[in-house]
């Protein structure tokens, strides 16, 4: 119970406190402490799981997402403390906006943690909406025309997506009602899963289409991805890091839960092929789009679409190995991508621009930053010895064993993306230095912690972690 | 079971909501579009209240009151004030040809009947009709959003999607959290309205005097 309270109430309290705190140094510190307490709460949940209640549920599946999410939030808040100091000095943000920014950061954390812990499909939906709304206002915080446009696009597409998801949620309730009875019980995950055998599978089929389109928009899958690059590029960089590292995962979690529900209902369509198709389309599309990017944050936003595609593909393939690879890939992507955004944030601040052609020779002018960025790019492109390589290798090899044709298509997508990322990465890191070469005051340990974890995972996966992921993979069916 | 009369009234109200959606498709003035939206929300409030009467549920009366106050009165009023303030009420929006759009709208209604009716034969008849008609309202709302370029008309399209979802939620007997969900949606909607406000004002601010803006920024940073 203490774990639950820490994970849910800390962000809520912190948001209230931060909304009234004027001094930005103090609020940055409160932000870090609150995120760290929520992380501690998540670790407590890992050690001891309370029994599922009426509204909240902790099981093996969502504990993975919560531990990962609160960890990335903690490191991001450390990075953000350094980042916003610079934004304040250059006049991009004012203290008033910063107060708002910190309060929204914690509100978003509350929304995400609630969405992950909710035992009720309605509560989960409301929580995802809350997390979306708080990120929308943060994306638009710079108030440049481009930022407002990005926030507007994210808002409209996200709201339409979430409206479709709500329609799907209502249909799930309709399917459950004859079996479970009226009222709140027909929206509880634990009850739904237990009774899914008797649900009307035709209604569930239609519901899943809406849920896939709705939550899939939030995951950033290819035909519905249009909000994602803009939202990543125009908002503050800490927000890009949490969008890629956390929010996409939360929507993915919702999809996985509903996939479990369909799997428990005999006669329902198999969600796998739908997810595999959307995932593959995302990978191929994003891989080719990577070549035409001129903005450094947009580049990595498209890389996020590619990776979410791989993850959804892998969960769609399913089976113990496919699910294991999907979980590993998701963890590695969250850690690596947020580390990349941390370095990109510092690079953009030093150079005063996000245009790739205006940045170059980073390893000469800022060796530590340049090599950190290059290591991140190498990791996300799937080079050994980083953990992303292990995960992608698992996805590919397990697919080869079952559907060789799909594996070939996926492999082509991975190779194309690899080429684009490496070309851009070397362009940023090597060659003649371009742009201003002022000193950098970077917060190193978030980058080091993330890349270090990814490196360790690539070389040696600890036994308990493997056992844990294997167990969750078996749960996912 | 529900009486014939009760069913007919529920069916008629839901049908009128769809009709309002179709009417929105060919409005070329923003103020007229907003008026139709207000009418649709009014019909929705009536439909929800009728459902509350049929299901004997106090929660639904609350939802109906919310729909009436918020969606039928407050939001259209705010939107109209915004449109007039920004001088958009004199503009005539180019809408894609009425014929094709209406045909597309009717196609969407047929599609939602085709999708929803066969899979809901186990559900009670009122909910069955409501869900099918609600889906067509949602789809036509999407069509409105796609065919319009103006931010304000996009919001109107989104609000009509919201109306469709409320219709679906109230048709599902005993759906819990209906009240909470409509509150959440209303907050969302309020944010959208504020969103356009900021969006447009900012655009104006930029064109009015960029120099003044830079100066005030620099001052605040110190």
d(CA A166, CA A210): 8
Q: How far is CA B170 from CA A102, B12, B130, in A?
A: 37, 15, 8
Please write the tens of the pLDDT for every residue from A23-42: 888 899 999 999 999 999 99
Contacts of B184 in chain A (CB under 8 A): 126, 129-130
pLDDT higher than threshold 80 for residue A409 = yes
Least confident residue range of A111-120, A210-219, A437-446: A437-446
pLDDT value at residue A256: 93
Mean pLDDT across A364-390: 91
**A348 within domain boundaries:** yes
Range of the domain at A363: 270-477
User: What's the start-to-end Cα distance of chain A, in Å?
Assistant: 29
| Interchain contact, A133 vs B188, CB within 8 Å | yes
Residue in chain A nearest B158 by alpha carbon:
A160
pLDDT value at residue A82: 87
Mean pLDDT across A220-247: 90
pLDDT higher than threshold 80 for residue B202 = no
Residue in chain A nearest B142 by alpha carbon:
A160
Please write the tens of the pLDDT for every residue from A273-297: 999 999 999 999 999 999 888 899 9
Mean pLDDT across B189-210: 58
Is A202 near chain B, with CB under 8 Å?
A: yes
pLDDT value at residue B197: 61
Least confident residue range of A85-89, B188-192, B201-205: B201-205
At residue B180 the predicted structure's pLDDT band, cuts being 50, 70 and 90, is low
**A27 within domain boundaries:** no
pLDDT higher than threshold 90 for residue A216 = yes
Interface test mutation site (partner B, options A92, A111, A174, A211, max chain B beta carbons within 10 A): A174
Is A199 near chain B, with CB under 8 Å?
A: no
pLDDT value at residue B61: 87
pLDDT value at residue B184: 67
Contacts of B51 in chain A (CB under 8 A): none
Question: How many domains are there within chain A?
Answer: 1
Checking B215-222 for CB contacts under 8 A at 24+ apart, the result is: B217/A91, B218/A91, B220/A91, B220/A94, B221/A88, B221/A89, B221/A90, B221/A91, B221/A94
Residue A49 main-chain phi, psi, to 5 deg: -100, 120
pLDDT higher than threshold 80 for residue A173 = yes
pLDDT value at residue B179: 64
Interface test mutation site (partner B, options A133, A160, A168, A207, max chain B beta carbons within 10 A): A160
**A463 within domain boundaries:** yes
Cβ proximity of B124 and A178 under 8 Å: no
pLDDT value at residue A22: 83
**What is the sign of the dihedral through the CA atoms of B213, B215, B219 and B222?**
positive
Q: Can you point out the beta strands (E) in A335-403?
A: none
pLDDT value at residue A475: 84
Cα atoms found within 13 Å of the Cα of residue A449, Cβ hemisphere only = 15
- Averaged pLDDT of chain A: 89
**A234 within domain boundaries:** no
**A331 within domain boundaries:** yes
- Averaged pLDDT of chain B: 79
**A344 within domain boundaries:** yes
Mean pLDDT across A176-191: 84
Percentage of chain B lying above the pLDDT 90 cut: 23
At residue B37 the predicted structure's pLDDT band, cuts being 50, 70 and 90, is very high
Contacts of B198 in chain A (CB under 8 A): 140, 143, 148
pLDDT higher than threshold 70 for residue B218 = no
**A314 within domain boundaries:** yes
Residue A460 main-chain phi, psi, to 5 deg: -150, 115
pLDDT value at residue B195: 66
pLDDT value at residue B215: 38
Chain B neighbours among A 85-124 (CB < 8 Å)? 88-91, 94, 120, 122-123
Residue A318 main-chain phi, psi, to 5 deg: 65, -160
Tokens of B68: 């009436």
Percentage of chain A lying above the pLDDT 90 cut: 48
pLDDT value at residue B182: 65
Is A25 near chain B, with CB under 8 Å?
A: no
Task: Calculate helix-pair angle for A444-459, A60-89, nearest 10 degrees.
Answer: 150
Cβ proximity of A435 and A358 under 8 Å: yes
């Amino acid at each position: 119970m203490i774990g639950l309270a820490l994970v849910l109430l800390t962000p809520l309290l912190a948001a209230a406190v931060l909304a009234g705190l004027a001094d930005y140094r103090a609020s940055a510190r409160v932000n870090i402490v609150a995120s760290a307490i929520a992380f501690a709460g998540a670790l407590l949940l890992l050690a001891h799981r309370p029994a599922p209640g009426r509204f909240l549920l902790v099981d093996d599946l969502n504990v993975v997402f919560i531990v990962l999410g609160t960890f990335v939030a903690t490191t991001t808040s450390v990075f953000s403390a350094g980042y916003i100091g610079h934004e304040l000095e250059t006049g991009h943000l004012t203290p008033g906006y910063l107060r708002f920014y910190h309060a929204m950061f914690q509100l978003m954390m509350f929304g995400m943690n609630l969405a992950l812990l909710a035992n009720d499909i309605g509560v989960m939906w409301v929580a995802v909406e809350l997390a979306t709304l708080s990120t929308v206002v943060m994306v638009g915080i710079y108030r440049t025309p481009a930022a407002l446009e990005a926030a507007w696009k994210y808002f409209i597409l996200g709201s339409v997506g979430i409206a479709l998801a709500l329609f799907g949620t209502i249909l799930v309730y309709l399917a459950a009602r004859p079996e479970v009875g009226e009222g709140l019980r027909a929206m509880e995950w634990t009850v739904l899963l237990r009774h899914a055998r008797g649900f009307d599978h035709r209604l569930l089929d239609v519901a899943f289409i809406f849920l896939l389109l709705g939550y899939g928009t939030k995951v950033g899958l290819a035909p519905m991805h249009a909000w994602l690059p803009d939202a990543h590029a125009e908002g503050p960089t800490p927000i890009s890091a949490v969008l890629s590292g956390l929010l996409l995962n939360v929507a993915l979690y919702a999809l996985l839960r509903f996939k479990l529900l369909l799997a428990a209902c005999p006669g329902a369509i198999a969600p796998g092929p739908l997810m595999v198709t959307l995932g593959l389309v995302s990978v191929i599309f994003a891989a080719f789009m990577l070549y035409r990017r001129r903005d450094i944050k947009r580049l990595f936003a498209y890389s996020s679409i590619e990776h979410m595609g791989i993850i959804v593909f892998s969960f769609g393939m399913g089976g113990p190995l496919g699910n294991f690879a999907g979980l590993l890939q998701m963890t590695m992507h969250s850690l690596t991508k947020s580390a990349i955004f941390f370095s990109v944030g510092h690079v953009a601040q030093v150079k005063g621009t996000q245009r790739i052609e205006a940045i170059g020779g980073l390893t000469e002018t800022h060796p530590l930053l340049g090599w950190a960025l290059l290591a991140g790019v190498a990791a996300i492109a799937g080079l050994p010895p980083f953990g992303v390589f292990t995960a992608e290798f698992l996805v590919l090899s397990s697919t080869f064993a079952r559907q060789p044709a799909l594996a070939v298509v996926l492999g082509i997508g991975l190779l194309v993306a690899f080429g684009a990322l490496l070309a851009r990465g070397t362009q940023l890191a090597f060659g003649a230095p371009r742009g201003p070469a002022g000193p950098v005051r970077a917060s190193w340990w978030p980058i080091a912690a993330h890349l270090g974890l990814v490196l360790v995972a690539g070389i040696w996966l600890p036994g308990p972690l493997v056992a844990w992921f294997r167990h969750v993979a078996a749960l996912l069916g | 079971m529900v009486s014939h009369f009760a069913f007919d009234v529920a069916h008629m109200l839901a049908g009128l909501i769809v009709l309002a959606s179709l009417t929105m498709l060919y409005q070329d003035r923003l103020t007229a579009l907003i008026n139709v939206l207000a009418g649709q929300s009014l019909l929705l409030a009536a439909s929800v209240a009728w459902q509350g009467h049929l299901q004997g549920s106090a929660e639904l009366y609350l939802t109906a009151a919310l729909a009436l106050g918020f969606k039928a009165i407050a939001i259209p009023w705010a939107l109209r004030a915004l449109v007039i303030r920004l001088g958009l009420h004199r503009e005539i929006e180019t809408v894609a040809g009425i014929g094709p759009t209406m045909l597309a709208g009717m196609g969407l209604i047929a599609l939602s009947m085709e999708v929803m009716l066969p899979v809901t034969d186990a559900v009670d008849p009122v909910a069955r009709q409501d869900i099918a008609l609600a889906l067509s309202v949602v789809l036509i709302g999407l069509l409105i959003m796609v065919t319009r370029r103006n931010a304000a008309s996009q919001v109107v399209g989104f609000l009509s999607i919201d109306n469709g979802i409320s219709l679906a939620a109230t048709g599902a007997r005993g759906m819990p959290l209906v009240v909470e969900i409509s509150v959440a949606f209303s907050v969302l909607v309020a944010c959208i309205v504020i969103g356009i406000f900021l969006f447009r004002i900012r655009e104006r601010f930029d064109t009015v005097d960029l120099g003044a803006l830079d100066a005030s920024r620099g001052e605040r940073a110190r």
